[in-house]
């Protein structure tokens, strides 16, 4: 689907834009309810801030869609280095909130470098893998540089600590490497090695992180402590029924039973008020973004563009999968926001900027 224009937007993937707008709109509906305690419509300060981040994000979307794609390729390593430097800065100068050092205070804005790093590591890996022969699958040598590019930010993010973002970066990196191709014997070896290192990984986790995993297995083991979040979330989602309790009528959020309702558990608020059918509409919108994004990745002739599109769209898919699974009790509770829905400036701006790059790849390929 195209929109003809004499300017730089010669052909625009309008279906991709409409799907993005739908998710953002539903997110604002949920946030407007999650950030007030009354059952009457009120514009909260957090909603006004989120509206500003949305507008800023769409500005970033437009810029990333217009900038020559070659610019991203030429500056990929530079941006990666900048991202790593910011992760170091946040460990030294960042504000400590709830035991984690993840944000840099900029006065009017708490900047989260790890959200920026999700995109920058995709750019660096796309550039790195593009330089290799696509007909030859990666062996041990070929995997060393991509592995280093992925593990450096993962290690820094784990020091914050932020397990959710670290796992996201690992998933994104692994998806791009698998998309490029890895020798079968090496892949089997890596899987076996990963399984063998799981006990060590368990010991490396913080106490609260281990508690979250144990709570996932048995939420009732600590219903007023580590299990409280997920139990209240499941009540909210389940009580929504088929059509929900109605806009601004959710009891779990309005009566303050649901923690972190405007960030990690925003889907619980939405599902309680709009029910199963509303949740399906939201998930279909995310599915449309995934479908269009993978179509763009498959159709472009550029190896860099294809790898970049895969990294962006599968990173988005992973965050949706983990967040929705988390609030429904299907996965452990980790700090992963729901893209385009959860409150947060850095996440909103970087997600829309990433989708703008996908629009750029489409525009450069003219595949739709």
Quote the CA–CA distance of 186 and 178 in Å, as a whole number. 11
Tell me: the pLDDT tens digits for 157-189? 988 888 889 989 999 998 888 888 877 777 777
Quote the CA–CA distance of 357 and 13 in Å, as a whole number. 12
- CA distances to 219, 329, 356, 363 from 5, rounded to whole Å, are 55, 47, 17, 12
More confident residue, 27 or 256: 27
In percent, how much of the chain has pLDDT > 90? 46
Buried b (16+ CB within 10 A) or exposed e, 48-81: ebbeebbebbbebbbebbeeebeebbeebeebbe
* Residue 86, pLDDT score: 94
* Residue 284, pLDDT score: 96
Quote the CA–CA distance of 327 and 138 in Å, as a whole number. 37
Q: Which of 198, 163, 196 is nearest to 322 (CA)?
A: 163
Residue 313 confidence (pLDDT) above 70: yes
Tell me: the pLDDT tens digits for 46-97? 999 999 999 999 999 999 999 999 999 999 999 999 999 999 999 988 777 7
pLDDT band at 9 (very low <50, low <70, confident <90, very high): very low
Tell me: the pLDDT tens digits for 190-236? 778 777 777 777 666 667 667 767 766 666 666 666 667 788 888 88
More confident residue, 245 or 333: 245
Quote the CA–CA distance of 100 and 94 in Å, as a whole number. 9
Q: What pTM, to 2 d.p., does this model score?
A: 0.89
* Residue 163, pLDDT score: 83
Quickly tell me which residue has 């190896």 as its tokens.
Answer: 303
The mean pLDDT of 249-277, rounded to a whole number, is: 85
Q: How many residues does the chain have?
A: 368
Tell me: the pLDDT tens digits for 100-149? 788 888 777 788 999 999 999 999 999 998 877 666 777 777 788 899 99
3-class DSSP string for the chain:
CCCCCCCCCCCCCHHHHHHHHHHHHHHHHHHHHHCCCCCCCCCCHHHHHHHHHHHHHHHHHHHHHHCCHHHHHHCHHHHHHHHHHHHHHHHHHCEEECCEEEEEECCCCEECHHHHHHHHHHHHHHHHHHCCCCCCCECHHHHHHHHHHHHHHHHHHHCCCCHHHHHHHHHHHHHHHHHHCECHHHHHHHHHHHHHCHHHHHHHCCHHHHHHHHHHHCHHHCCCCCCHHHHHHHHHHHHCCCCCCCCCCCHHHHCCCCCCCCCCCHHHHHHHHHHHHHHHHHHHHHHHHHHHHHHHHHHCCCHHHHHHHHHHHHHHHHHHHHHHHHHCCCCCCCCCCCCCCCCCHHHHHHHHHHHHHHHHHHHHHCCC
* Residue 220, pLDDT score: 64
* Residue 230, pLDDT score: 81
* Residue 58, pLDDT score: 96
* Residue 273, pLDDT score: 92
* Residue 215, pLDDT score: 67
Q: Are 292 and 357 in contact (CB under 8 A)?
A: no
Average predicted confidence (pLDDT) for the chain:
84
Highest mean pLDDT, choosing among 194-198, 304-308, 332-336: 304-308
* Residue 71, pLDDT score: 94
Residue 239 confidence (pLDDT) above 50: yes
């Amino acid at each position: 689907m195209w929109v003809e224009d004499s300017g730089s937007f010669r052909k625009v993937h309008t279906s991709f834009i409409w799907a993005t707008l739908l998710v953002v709109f539903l997110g604002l509906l949920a946030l407007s309810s999650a950030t007030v305690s009354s059952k009457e419509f009120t514009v909260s300060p957090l909603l006004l801030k989120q509206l500003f981040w949305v507008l800023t994000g769409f500005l970033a979307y437009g810029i990333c869609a217009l900038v020559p794609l070659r610019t991203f390729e030429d500056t990929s390593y530079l941006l990666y280095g900048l991202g790593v430097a910011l992760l170091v800065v946040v460990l030294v100068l960042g504000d400590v909130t709830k035991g984690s050092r993840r944000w840099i205070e900029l006065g009017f804005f708490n900047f989260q470098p790890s959200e920026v790093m999700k995109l920058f590591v995709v750019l660096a890996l796309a550039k790195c893998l593009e330089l290799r022969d696509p007909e030859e699958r990666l062996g041990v040598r070929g995997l060393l540089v991509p592995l280093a590019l992925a593990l450096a930010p993962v290690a820094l993010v784990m020091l914050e600590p932020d397990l959710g973002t670290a796992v996201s970066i690992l998933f994104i990196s692994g998806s791009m490497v698998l998309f490029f191709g890895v020798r079968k014997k090496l892949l089997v070896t890596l899987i076996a090695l990963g399984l063998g290192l799981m006990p060590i990984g368990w010991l490396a986790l913080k106490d609260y992180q281990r508690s979250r995993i144990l709570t996932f297995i048995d939420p009732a083991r600590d219903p007023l402590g580590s299990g409280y979040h997920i139990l209240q979330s499941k009540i909210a989602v389940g009580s929504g029924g088929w059509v929900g309790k109605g806009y601004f009528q959710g009891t779990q959020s309005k009566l303050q039973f649901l923690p972190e309702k405007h960030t990690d558990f925003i889907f619980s608020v939405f599902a309680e008020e709009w029910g199963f059918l509303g949740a399906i509409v939201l998930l279909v919108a995310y599915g449309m973004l995934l479908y269009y994004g993978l179509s763009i990745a498959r159709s472009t002739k550029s190896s860099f563009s294809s790898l970049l599109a895969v990294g962006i769209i599968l990173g988005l898919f992973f965050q949706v999968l983990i967040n929705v699974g988390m609030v429904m009790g299907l996965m452990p509770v980790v700090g992963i926001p729901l893209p385009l829905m959860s409150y947060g400036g850095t996440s909103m701006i970087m997600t829309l900027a990433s989708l703008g790059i996908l629009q750029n790849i489409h525009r450069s390929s003219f595949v739709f």
